[in-house]
């Protein structure tokens, strides 16, 4: 079974609209972390936001927020007021077993295109 | 700019050859991770070092090896290269080796095996 599922291979969104990128995860661990990264066409991987499984508040970083629904095992990324520069691949990743397992498990990504 | 540097940016080589990819972590970061991003496999964790010692191993082939030096820079050695090794190789670093630590990625090395 896929550990991280991103169901939207691609999305087109009008500039200035809000965007929600879906991510569901599968783990039996109580302690885990969820990350979102952005990969523009230039190739670098840019960290956006982090949510720990024990964090009670949804994480926010500027225009980025994470809609964390633990019971549903979903960690959707919300981008408010989208900009042309938001066009990129977006990856959701999970780290399980915080004390001993350090690798990130990655989703397949969502390609977001912002239309002017 | 994440503060993680990787060299070279691009590498073109032939099958059967050996190459070395280099990574310098952010200042103060003790942990280094290597990832491979290919079109058919997506992003795959290869290996992690923490303060010079191997900490975790992922889907790293036996033809690949890595090390972290006393100055904390790391090298990934790929040998007996095959066409399927063509990929973008990322190095990432984090402050410690805790699960909540954010990994910051370098710009990557694009390897093309002809």
Residues with Cβ < 8 Å from B39, sequence gap 6 or more? none
Cβ-count burial of B62 within 10 angstroms (0-12 exposed, 13-18 middle, 19+ buried)? exposed
**Can you list the pairs that A65-70 forms with residues at least 24 positions away whose Cβ atoms lie under 8 Å?**
A66/A34, A66/A36, A67/A20, A68/A34
In chain A, whose CA is at the least distance from the CA of B108?
A44
Cα(A66)–Cα(A32) distance, integer angstroms:
15
Whether B98 and A52 lie within 8 Å, measured CB to CB: no
A86 φ, ψ (degrees, to nearest 5)? -80, -10
Cα(A93)–Cα(A36) distance, integer angstroms:
6
Checking if the pLDDT of A95 tops 90, the result is no
Whether B105 and A52 lie within 8 Å, measured CB to CB: no
In chain A, whose CA is at the least distance from the CA of B43?
A106
| Token representation of residue B69 | 């030096």
Pick A2 or B34 by higher pLDDT.
B34
Cα(B11)–Cα(B51) distance, integer angstroms:
27
Whether A97 and B108 lie within 8 Å, measured CB to CB: no
Checking if the pLDDT of B86 tops 90, the result is yes
Whether B107 and A101 lie within 8 Å, measured CB to CB: no
List pLDDT tens digits, range A37-55: 999 999 999 999 999 999 9
Find out whether B91 and B106 touch, Cβ atoms under 8 Å.
yes
Checking if the pLDDT of A25 tops 80, the result is yes
Checking if the pLDDT of A100 tops 60, the result is no
């Amino acid at each position: 079974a896929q550990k991280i599922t991103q169901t939207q291979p691609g999305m087109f969104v009008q500039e200035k609209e809000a965007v929600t990128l879906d991510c569901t995860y599968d783990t039996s661990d109580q302690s885990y972390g969820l990350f979102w990264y952005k990969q523009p066409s230039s190739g670098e991987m840019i960290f956006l936001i982090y949510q720990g499984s024990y964090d009670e508040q949804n994480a926010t970083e500027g225009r980025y927020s994470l809609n964390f629904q633990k019971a549903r095992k979903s960690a959707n990324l919300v981008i408010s007021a989208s900009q042309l520069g938001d066009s990129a691949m977006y990856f959701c990743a999970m780290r399980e077993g915080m004390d001993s397992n350090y690798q990130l498990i990655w989703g397949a990504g969502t390609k977001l295109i912002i239309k002017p | 700019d994440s503060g993680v540097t990787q060299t070279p940016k691009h590498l073109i080589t032939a099958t059967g050859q050996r190459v070395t990819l280099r990574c310098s972590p952010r200042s103060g970061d003790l942990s280094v991770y290597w990832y491979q991003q290919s079109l058919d496999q997506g992003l795959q964790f290869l290996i992690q070092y923490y303060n010079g010692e191997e900490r975790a191993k992922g889907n790293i082939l036996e033809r690949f090896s890595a090390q972290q030096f006393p100055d904390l820079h790391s090298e990934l050695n790929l040998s007996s290269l095959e066409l399927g090794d063509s990929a973008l190789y990322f190095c990432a670093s984090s402050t410690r080796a805790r699960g909540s630590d954010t990994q910051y990625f370098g710009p990557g090395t694009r390897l093309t095996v002809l």
